[in-house]
Amino acid sequence: MKPICDLLEERVLAAMAAVGGAGAPAVVRPTQDGRFGDYQANGVMGLAKKNKSNPRQLAEQIVEQLDVADMCEQPEIAGPGFINFRLKPEWLAGRLLEAVRDPQRLGVDAAENSPVTVVDFSSPNIAKQMHVGHLRSTIIGDVIARVLDFWYGEPSKVVRQNHVGDWGLQMGMINVGAVIQALKNLSGEKNVQEYGSWEKLRGCIPLSEMVFNINELEWQYKEVNIEIKSDPWVENACREATLNLQKGEPEETEFWKKACEVSLNACHEIYEQLGVKLGLDDVCGESFYNDRLPGVIEDFAKEGLLEESEGAQCVFLEGFKSKEGEPLPLIVQKSDGAFLYATTDLAAIRYRVGELKAERVIYVTDSRQKLHFEMVFAAAKKAGWVDDSVHLEHVPFGSVLGKDNRPFKTRSGETVKLKGLLDEATKRARKIVEEKNPELSEELKDEISQAVGIGAVKYADLSNNLVSDYVFDWDKMLAMEGNTAPYMQYAYARVQSIFRKGQIDIDELLGRHEQLELNEPEELQLAKLLLRYGEIVEAVAGDLRPHIMTGYLFELAQAFSSFYTNCPVLKADEAVRDYRLLLCLQTARTIKHGLGLLGIEVIEQM
């Protein structure tokens, strides 16, 4: 089904063309105020200005040409030249019925000619547990992938990429850390200073026999950082270990593989807990691009773009300036010969465009990396690796802040681990369920607290405009009132309880109805909102801004709550009862689907 907005747009355009205004935009929008009808066309005033004609007279001419009698009441001209449309209840009813008959897509058409799209998100580091710093990328990226996947339709054109940090010096560091720790365990608090080099250190313990979990790995990593400060040779040992790994030494490689496995398993437990669709298949980390890095440099050199500056290999791009006003380079190879993240990102672009055949690549990272991506994109274009048919997009987002308006930390100043955060969310939700509905079964309480707790964290994040920072506030996100996950889930549970109480057979209900009537204002309001779902999906897919969806769902849930209190369903006369049941059905589906695109679960009871 074509969105109502688009239908009206077409009709207005046709009418405008008929009075000599072909090519001018119709600017059809939903009205902000119900007194002006449901939709309005604002394009007439612009056209009048262009033609130097009287806007109200022009509007009259256009309205005479307008053919909208099937869907709207007689359009009205208002103010300086707005055309207002009020949709006919019977037309709305018919359309709603059509949407109800499409349980898969809810009457939302898939986009045409959608591009193969890579969504790069989450990107945690090996050897460290995921923390709040990964929260936004992970859930926003997941939402973008879900929305585009639905909007693009079958077959899927969305490729998820988890660009994990699994290479570089930190890999050597965890290796050194693990050995030091193992030695300490064997010989008490013995000082490791005597070893003096990686060669001696690694000889003490067979790397392949080491066993560790993610907590140990992380702790060891921190310990190494401390050791480096007291024993300078440790830093060299880390470099040697890293070098051995890069050379493919079997022992270091095996250790590295195990560390990756342990870390990734921990990440995937978090994804599962969060309900994020990101699998091991989607992992394509820095190490993957390792042997493609020299090629990046070579190609820049071939294109004549490579310049040496202060010992580093750089690409200079127009429009980027440093502090001193000098040209700001994109460094692709450090003076010591090592590659850095710009190099890896460039190699990744080439891989995605060249081998994954991506036509659109979306990077979901915090806004501090904006400049980095601007430069990387510019460099990739300058080198000719991407042409104008490929869209590289950075979706920047703000930080998660604590109540003090500073980056979110624990009381002792540590980074907040995602595991603990999510567990606490569920725990807090559980406490509320216990208070509100102590009679539910334990199993149900668990299910509810899971959905509500995790949903609250995600919803709170997604309902903010991406670019702004937001303050992490348990009480606010778990509140039942306001634009929150629990409010939305509650609205859904209330609809479902109607079907449960009335023992409604949905197939039978659907089979029984060839028509639908909308009479009460609450019914009409609900129907109009339900029919806007497609417009919303399109807007979210187009702008990549999930809060458009949360805003819509909130409005929908409010409209339903109002309908629910004012229009009894099960107690209504048979015909009215069925019309209302259909409204309920579509409401439930839309909330479930919309929350689904946001990666948030619904529950049948709460």
Partner RNA sequence: GCGCCUGUAGCUCAGUCCGGAUAGAGCGACGGUUUCCUAAACCGUAGGUCGUGGGUUCGAGUCCCGCCAGGCGUACCA
The interface with RNA within residues 467-506 (CB under 7 A) comprises: 467-471, 479-483, 486-487, 490, 493-494, 496-498, 501-502
Would you count residue 380 as binding RNA (CB under 7 A)?
no
The one segment of 104-112, 202-210, 212-220, 337-345 that binds RNA by CB under 7 A: 337-345
Query: Which one, 304 or 325, has the nearer CB to RNA?
Result: 325
The one segment of 1-9, 354-362, 504-512, 559-567 that binds RNA by CB under 7 A: 559-567
Length of the chain: 606
CB–CB of 527/556 below 8 Å?
no
Considering only residues 197, 208, 213, 309, which one is a binding residue for RNA as defined by CB under 7 A? 309
In angstroms, the CA 193 to CA 175 distance is: 16
119-140 b/e with 16+ CB inside 10 Å = b? bbbbbbbbbbbbbbbbbbbbbb
Exposed / middle / buried, residue 236 (Cβ in 10 Å: 0-12, 13-18, 19+): middle
CA-nearest of 277, 152, 278, 276 to 541 is: 152
Q: How far is the CB of 291 from RNA (least distance, A)?
A: 17
Q: How far is the CB of 439 from RNA (least distance, A)?
A: 11
Query: Which one, 210 or 570, has the nearer CB to RNA?
Result: 570
Q: What is the CA radius of gyration of the chain?
A: 29
Q: Which ranges of 416-532 would DSSP assign to H, the alpha helix?
A: 418-436, 442-462, 474-477, 485-501, 506-512, 521-530
Would you count residue 368 as binding RNA (CB under 7 A)?
yes
In angstroms, the CA 386 to CA 380 distance is: 6
Establish whether the linkage from the previous residue to 155 is cis, with ω within 30° of 0. yes
CB–CB of 251/206 below 8 Å?
yes
Query: Which one, 187 or 566, has the nearer CB to RNA?
Result: 566
**Lateral strand order in the sheet of 28-30:** 28-30, 39-41, 82-85, 76-78
Question: Which positions from 156 through 175 interact with RNA, judged by CB under 7 A?
Answer: 165, 168
Query: Which one, 301 or 467, has the nearer CB to RNA?
Result: 467
Count of beta carbons in the 10 Å neighbourhood of residue 215 = 12
Size of the site for RNA (CB under 7 A): 97
CA-nearest of 40, 79, 47 to 61 is: 47
Question: Using CB under 7 A as the criterion, what x/- string covers residues 381-420 for binding RNA?
Answer: -----------------xx---------------------
The one segment of 1-9, 77-85, 225-233, 412-420 that binds RNA by CB under 7 A: 77-85
Query: Which one, 126 or 182, has the nearer CB to RNA?
Result: 126
Query: Which one, 253 or 562, has the nearer CB to RNA?
Result: 562
Considering only residues 154, 194, 310, 514, which one is a binding residue for RNA as defined by CB under 7 A? 310
CB–CB of 255/211 below 8 Å?
no
Q: How far is the CB of 183 from RNA (least distance, A)?
A: 27
Report DSSP state, residue 17. Answer: H
Question: Using CB under 7 A as the criterion, what x/- string covers residues 93-132 for binding RNA?
Answer: ----------------------------------------
Query: Which one, 411 or 571, has the nearer CB to RNA?
Result: 571
Question: Which positions from 254 through 293 interact with RNA, judged by CB under 7 A?
Answer: 286
Query: Which one, 194 or 404, has the nearer CB to RNA?
Result: 404
Would you count residue 71 as binding RNA (CB under 7 A)?
no
CB–CB of 353/385 below 8 Å?
yes
Would you count residue 206 as binding RNA (CB under 7 A)?
no
Question: Which positions from 515 through 544 interact with RNA, judged by CB under 7 A?
Answer: 542-543
Would you count residue 458 as binding RNA (CB under 7 A)?
no
Query: Which one, 82 or 151, has the nearer CB to RNA?
Result: 82
Six-digit token string for 392? 């590289």
Q: How far is the CB of 294 from RNA (least distance, A)?
A: 16
Q: How far is the CB of 88 from RNA (least distance, A)?
A: 18
Would you count residue 545 as binding RNA (CB under 7 A)?
yes
Strand-strand pairing, 312-321 and 306-309: antiparallel
Q: How far is the CB of 42 from RNA (least distance, A)?
A: 4
The one segment of 110-118, 134-142, 509-517, 556-564 that binds RNA by CB under 7 A: 556-564
Would you count residue 322 as binding RNA (CB under 7 A)?
yes
In angstroms, the CA 66 to CA 64 distance is: 6
Would you count residue 250 as binding RNA (CB under 7 A)?
no
Considering only residues 551, 576, 592, 596, which one is a binding residue for RNA as defined by CB under 7 A? 551
Query: Which one, 273 or 558, has the nearer CB to RNA?
Result: 558
In angstroms, the CA 383 to CA 52 distance is: 48
Six-digit token string for 286? 């820095």
Query: Which one, 292 or 372, has the nearer CB to RNA?
Result: 372
DSSP reduced 3-state for 457: helix
Query: Which one, 246 or 369, has the nearer CB to RNA?
Result: 369
Query: Which one, 194 or 321, has the nearer CB to RNA?
Result: 321
Would you count residue 352 as binding RNA (CB under 7 A)?
no
**Residues 221, 224, 228, 232: is their CA dihedral positive or negative?**
negative
Considering only residues 6, 14, 18, 31, which one is a binding residue for RNA as defined by CB under 7 A? 31
CB–CB of 141/122 below 8 Å?
yes
CB–CB of 461/470 below 8 Å?
yes
Give residue 306's region: left, alpha or beta (phi > 0; psi -120 to 50).
beta
Question: Which positions from 563 through 592 interact with RNA, judged by CB under 7 A?
Answer: 564-571
In angstroms, the CA 77 to CA 84 distance is: 6
Q: How far is the CB of 189 from RNA (least distance, A)?
A: 31
CB–CB of 518/527 below 8 Å?
yes
Six-digit token string for 81? 């030249």
Query: Which one, 138 or 201, has the nearer CB to RNA?
Result: 138
